[in-house]
Amino acid sequence: MRPRRHAPPSARGRHARARARPRTRPAPWLIALYASPAAIYLLVAARRRPPANGTPRRTPPSPPRVAGSVDGTARRRGARGAARFDARGAPIATGGPGDLAAANLEIPHEVAALAAEGLHPVRATAWAARRARRVAEHDESREPPENPPTPPNATRSTHRSVAVHADYAHPVFHFSPVNHVALESLLATHARAAVRVAVVGPELARDFRYANALGLTHFDRYAKLGFDARTVLVNAQTPLYGTTDADDAPGRRWWELRRAALAPRHLDFLTFFGRDDADVLPAPALTLFLRLQSVWKHGGLAIDFTYVFVAPVPADARGFAVAPDACGPAAPWAYHDRAPPPLLVHAPAPRDAAISRALAAFDACGADERCADALARDPARLLLDAWRGAGLANDLAGGVAWLNCDETAAGSLLDASSTITLADAAGGSYAVWLGPAATDGRFAPAAPASPLGALFSAGPPRAVAVDQRAACAREIAGRPLSDRPRCFAFQRGVAGASRDADETHRRAGASSCAPTLFIPSAQKGASSALAALLATHPQVLRPVRGSHYKEPGAYINAVYYRQSLARRASRFPWFRDDEPFVALDATVTYASESRLPAMRAALDAPRAFVVFALREPVARAFSDFRFCYRPYFFSQDIGFDAATLGALDAYDACYGAARAFYAANRTAAADAAGADAYYGLACQDLKLRRRDPFGLVRKSLYVYQVLHYRAVHGAERVTAVSAEQLKRDAPGAGRAVAAHVGLCASFSFGAGQRVHATRARVAPRHAWSRAGYRRLRAWFEPYNRRLYAALRTTESSLGWEEVDYPSFRDDRLPT
């Protein structure tokens, strides 16, 4: 086990965190995998330090180092000589596949693979034909079964509520549909279960999935179905014990001694992202302790997603079931060695005497790490002693059938030739352990004839109908199949990672639904507020990782090229093919990074919907400027006007052809020339070489991003919501998106919230001026006119009229 690193408690605030230096700096690509694009560029900016004497200095304007021409051809002189680009701005391949060093460029190998399919340079007709073909194939394979299986809730008990304490102490990549089926079997047999899934992680895990743990959005699906199931974050700050139980708090002494070390509340930003996937699962002792402590505190059942329940655990049964030794790590299908053995505990009432004794054993260990670890390695002994000590019988002895621990029967539940039924397998027990399938993440296909296969195809138990969800469910059920949201499985990438060829990864991709609702742009365009609003809809599910559980980044170069299909799929929530869910992906750099993220996403989900989160371009740029102010613009003593107006001449050169074509009313030619320039290296280089630092101007040039998405996903699938519209009428904006995506209309959106507001204050000399604002607006004007036409909207409808901002300094432009 690697030692854990702890953040200095004084490291507070976003920028302080960004500046904090860990002892070992994680690789930048690792940060890129986890952090939001916004966070990434803050971190990069944080490395640009002011001069040692502390005097802010101005970067002397450097002449453009790229020769851009109106047809989009460009030649960049780099350390390794000249890179060449074709007439449409695409790099001409000179090296091997995947130029990962140049994150903002199109990848020649992939571009070539798309071109071989007739899909690049972008041809809207080729994309439309491809979409239609895949949708037709999908529809054919989606005929409803003649005799739909009976949902498992047909026999479920409704007699009582039960508190269920769950965790999954295995790598999140192993959490597969098998584990979802395990939870569903519990929900089907325990009608009013209140499931709380504990995730151990520092406070930052509220906003980002913490390395190897489950994400906090993993079980949103069940809440949307009307079940009481959600994740709770546990760390040293969690008040496990109330204040009134001073005399009766078994385990508290151990928790007080060990909590800071075992479950740190703070990790600085870089350390948090520097965690590698192997070293973050909670110590087995902590996992066992938390299970027992929560059952002690609330009463109920502890589970770990490794069993299928076939009957409710009797209300008055107090007891436990621990996997026999044959199921342990010594077995050929060894489960993760940082998890305690599979274990079920049930105590109907809080403060159970036997569980108190088990917790007291932790107290007796004090700070001795090895002592508590020994308890976790042999929970059977611990619980047996506790039950005997309390003079109780273990009512759950035999409660779980450990079928797979017998080598002759191993895997028989999942075997296609098995005729065994779950009830037979259980042999009078309440649950059947799923064996290796529950923790190996191999997504073994369950044969339809097998008991597990039957559970898979039966679908989730019917939820308790609550509020608007019931109306929504009725509305969706009344629609023809072709009008309901579709699940498209993840596809092997075009020229993607070679691991995609691996059968296991393909199966993982094939059993998960790709995202179908994209918010691909723009930073500071209220994309977080829009994503949060949409996620309140009963059909919309957030990703299970990424910044604020909104930016999984699955299609950006850094992720797409480094991760297998299984990892790509693991960023999104799981649901079944016929469930009317829509998975959201609001990674705000998809549209500006290059043309590829849109294309990759469309290959996965040919019927995706795209909603741009836009904001009046100059207001967006100023917000972005404020966001990057402390780490960069302040230290470089660059004001907003200087940061933006200085690049306009160079951009005029880049987009000269597009402007000329627009002026001559040759819209199609202008669109093509403009998009080529936008994604070609010549104009991107202005941003990269800090003529347009952080792309303040470039990112506000929405029209080419929108046109590209229209070409790839189909014009009718692309729409936009402005931050100004969201502020004016959030429920109306939500309704408009719901109508666009075909979500049920019975749901009423709330007023939404203001999120991700930038707190940075700008020194008066760096603020925007009214004259600069007007000049920039005038520069964007022709592009905006084309944007309005493409989106069939107007300036006033978007709320982009000129505004007299109180933050304007004065009317003088920089000399």
Ligand X SMILES: Nc1ncnc2c1ncn2[C@@H]1O[C@H](COP(=O)(O)OS(=O)(=O)O)[C@@H](OP(=O)(O)O)[C@H]1O
Our CB check for ligand X shows the closer of 273 and 305 to be 273
Binding mask 296-315 for ligand X (x = CB under 6 A): --------------------
* Whole-number Å distance between alpha carbons of 702 and 780: 10
Our CB check for ligand X shows the closer of 348 and 693 to be 693
Sort strands 161-166 and 192-200 into parallel, antiparallel or unpaired: parallel
321: contact with ligand X by CB under 6 A: no
CB of 26 to ligand X, least distance (A): 21
Contact in structure between 725 and 796 (CB atoms under 8 Å): no
104: contact with ligand X by CB under 6 A: no
83: contact with ligand X by CB under 6 A: no
Phi, psi torsion values for 523, nearest 5 degrees: -55, 135
CB of 12 to ligand X, least distance (A): 20
Q: Per CB under 6 A, which region of 16-24, 323-331, 383-391, 521-529 contacts ligand X? A: 521-529
Q: Per CB under 6 A, which region of 349-357, 557-565, 687-695, 755-763 contacts ligand X? A: 755-763
Our CB check for ligand X shows the closer of 184 and 724 to be 724
The candidate with the shortest Cα–Cα distance to 460, out of 145, 144, 154, 138, is 154
Phi, psi torsion values for 397, nearest 5 degrees: -60, 125
Q: Per CB under 6 A, which region of 384-392, 525-533, 559-567, 736-744 contacts ligand X? A: 525-533
Establish how many alpha carbons lie within 13 A of residue 125's alpha carbon, considering only the half-sphere containing its beta carbon: 0
CB of 525 to ligand X, least distance (A): 5
Q: Is 623 annotated as a binding residue?
A: yes
Cis peptide before 198 (omega within 30 of 0): no
Our CB check for ligand X shows the closer of 177 and 525 to be 525
Kindly give, in sequence order, each residue whose CB lies less than 8 Å from that of residue 85, ignoring residues fewer than 6 positions away.
Answer: 72, 73, 74, 75, 76, 91, 92, 680, 681, 682
Our CB check for ligand X shows the closer of 555 and 655 to be 555
286: contact with ligand X by CB under 6 A: no
* Whole-number Å distance between alpha carbons of 700 and 721: 14
CB of 625 to ligand X, least distance (A): 10
621: contact with ligand X by CB under 6 A: no
Which one of residues 11, 38, 494, 621 is an interface residue with ligand X (CB under 6 A)? 38
CB of 542 to ligand X, least distance (A): 14
> Which residue in the list 224, 524, 687, 699 is annotated as catalytic?
524
Cis peptide before 121 (omega within 30 of 0): yes
Establish how many alpha carbons lie within 13 A of residue 223's alpha carbon, considering only the half-sphere containing its beta carbon: 18
Our CB check for ligand X shows the closer of 4 and 754 to be 754
Region of 8 (left: φ > 0; alpha: ψ -120 to 50; beta: rest) is: beta
Q: Is 615 annotated as a binding residue?
A: yes
Q: Per CB under 6 A, which region of 287-295, 345-353, 527-535, 780-788 contacts ligand X? A: 527-535
CA dihedral 733, 738, 744, 749 (to 10 degrees): -30
Q: Per CB under 6 A, which region of 255-263, 386-394, 750-758, 779-787 contacts ligand X? A: 750-758
Which one of residues 675, 726, 738, 776 is an interface residue with ligand X (CB under 6 A)? 726
Our CB check for ligand X shows the closer of 578 and 795 to be 795
CA dihedral 454, 460, 461, 464 (to 10 degrees): -170
Our CB check for ligand X shows the closer of 48 and 761 to be 761
CB of 523 to ligand X, least distance (A): 4
Which one of residues 525, 573, 580, 617 is an interface residue with ligand X (CB under 6 A)? 525
Number of chain positions touching ligand X (CB under 6 A): 20
182: contact with ligand X by CB under 6 A: no
Our CB check for ligand X shows the closer of 451 and 525 to be 525
Our CB check for ligand X shows the closer of 35 and 283 to be 35
Residues linked to residue 583 through DSSP beta bridges, in sequence order: 541
Q: Per CB under 6 A, which region of 335-343, 673-681, 688-696, 721-729 contacts ligand X? A: 721-729
Our CB check for ligand X shows the closer of 165 and 545 to be 545
Q: 618 by DSSP, 3-state: which? A: helix
Let me know if 587 is exposed, middle or buried by CB neighbors in 10 A (0-12, 13-18, 19+): buried
Which one of residues 27, 315, 466, 757 is an interface residue with ligand X (CB under 6 A)? 757
516: contact with ligand X by CB under 6 A: no
129: contact with ligand X by CB under 6 A: no
Q: Hey, which residues between 622 and 641 contact ligand X (CB under 6 A)?
A: 623
CB of 621 to ligand X, least distance (A): 10
Which one of residues 529, 584, 643, 790 is an interface residue with ligand X (CB under 6 A)? 529
Which structure tokens are listed for 264?
């740190």
673: contact with ligand X by CB under 6 A: no
Let me know if 511 is exposed, middle or buried by CB neighbors in 10 A (0-12, 13-18, 19+): buried
CB of 519 to ligand X, least distance (A): 9
367: contact with ligand X by CB under 6 A: no
722: contact with ligand X by CB under 6 A: no
The edge-to-edge listing of strands for the beta sheet with 540-541 is 540-541, 582-585, 517-518, 609-614, 718-722
Q: Residue written as tokens 């469910």?
A: 473
Phi, psi torsion values for 193, nearest 5 degrees: -70, 135
Element housing 510 (H / E)? helix 503-510
* Whole-number Å distance between alpha carbons of 727 and 735: 14
699: contact with ligand X by CB under 6 A: no
705: contact with ligand X by CB under 6 A: no
The candidate with the shortest Cα–Cα distance to 537, out of 288, 736, 762, 307, is 736
* Whole-number Å distance between alpha carbons of 52 and 454: 68
Our CB check for ligand X shows the closer of 302 and 613 to be 613
CB of 540 to ligand X, least distance (A): 17
Contact in structure between 402 and 323 (CB atoms under 8 Å): yes
Contact in structure between 550 and 584 (CB atoms under 8 Å): yes
Q: 190 by DSSP, 3-state: which? A: coil
- 423 CB neighbour count, 10 Å cutoff: 13
Q: Per CB under 6 A, which region of 27-35, 345-353, 633-641, 752-760 contacts ligand X? A: 752-760
Phi, psi torsion values for 197, nearest 5 degrees: -100, 115
Which one of residues 341, 520, 752, 772 is an interface residue with ligand X (CB under 6 A)? 752
546: contact with ligand X by CB under 6 A: no
Q: Hey, which residues between 586 and 615 contact ligand X (CB under 6 A)?
A: 588, 613
* Whole-number Å distance between alpha carbons of 487 and 574: 10
The candidate with the shortest Cα–Cα distance to 300, out of 179, 204, 160, is 160
- CA angle 49–51–53, rounded 5-degree value: 135
Which structure tokens are listed for 728?
């004016």
* Whole-number Å distance between alpha carbons of 94 and 717: 36
CB of 613 to ligand X, least distance (A): 6
Contact in structure between 524 and 623 (CB atoms under 8 Å): yes
758: contact with ligand X by CB under 6 A: yes
Q: Per CB under 6 A, which region of 305-313, 450-458, 519-527, 799-807 contacts ligand X? A: 519-527
736: contact with ligand X by CB under 6 A: no
Which one of residues 524, 600, 708, 766 is an interface residue with ligand X (CB under 6 A)? 524
The candidate with the shortest Cα–Cα distance to 633, out of 15, 12, 134, 217, is 15
Does the active-site annotation cover 524? yes
CB of 336 to ligand X, least distance (A): 34
Sign of the torsion formed by the C-alpha atoms of 531, 104, 18 and 555: positive
CB of 586 to ligand X, least distance (A): 8
Residue positions forming the annotated binding site for 3'-phosphoadenylyl sulfate: 615, 623
- Which residues in this chain contact ligand X in the complex, by CB under 6 A? 38, 523-529, 588, 613, 623, 723, 726-727, 752, 754-758
Catalytic amino acids? 524
Binding residues: 615, 623
